Amino acid sequence: MPLLIIDTNLPRSKIPKTFVNDAAELIASIIKQDKKHVGVLVKTDLIIGVGGSEEPAALGKLQAINLLGGERNNQYTAPIYEFIEKTLGIKGDRFVLEFQAIEGSEVALNGKTLADYPK
């Protein structure tokens, strides 16, 4: 279950109404998973500085089980950065993205960890 988390200093009013759905579609397409398994969390109105400046910026994290690492991360980076710039107007030098590979036993859904679900 991939999860995209975006923390930004933009106000809620600057986040497009379709952002969560569009972000889920993007992540599903680049990691080749069904959109119904993708989570998106956006936190707005935060105090964030990048490079010592509080101009519009975002910090992102993509978490996933068995889908991240090495060359995969390189393949995912450009589409995510393009999406953030296009939808939020945040340039690449104002957006920091972290990839976090996690184990199925570290995520639960519907009362069970994902390690307990069939592969």
- Closest residue by Cα to residue 42 from 77, 66, 13: 13
pLDDT of 118 over the 70 cut: no
pTM of the model: 0.91
Locate the DSSP E strands across 14-57: 39-43
Percentage of residues in the chain having pLDDT higher than 90: 76
In the predicted model, is pLDDT for residue 11 greater than 80? yes
Instruction: Give the tens place of pLDDT for each residue, 79-108.
Output: 999 999 999 999 999 999 999 999 888 888
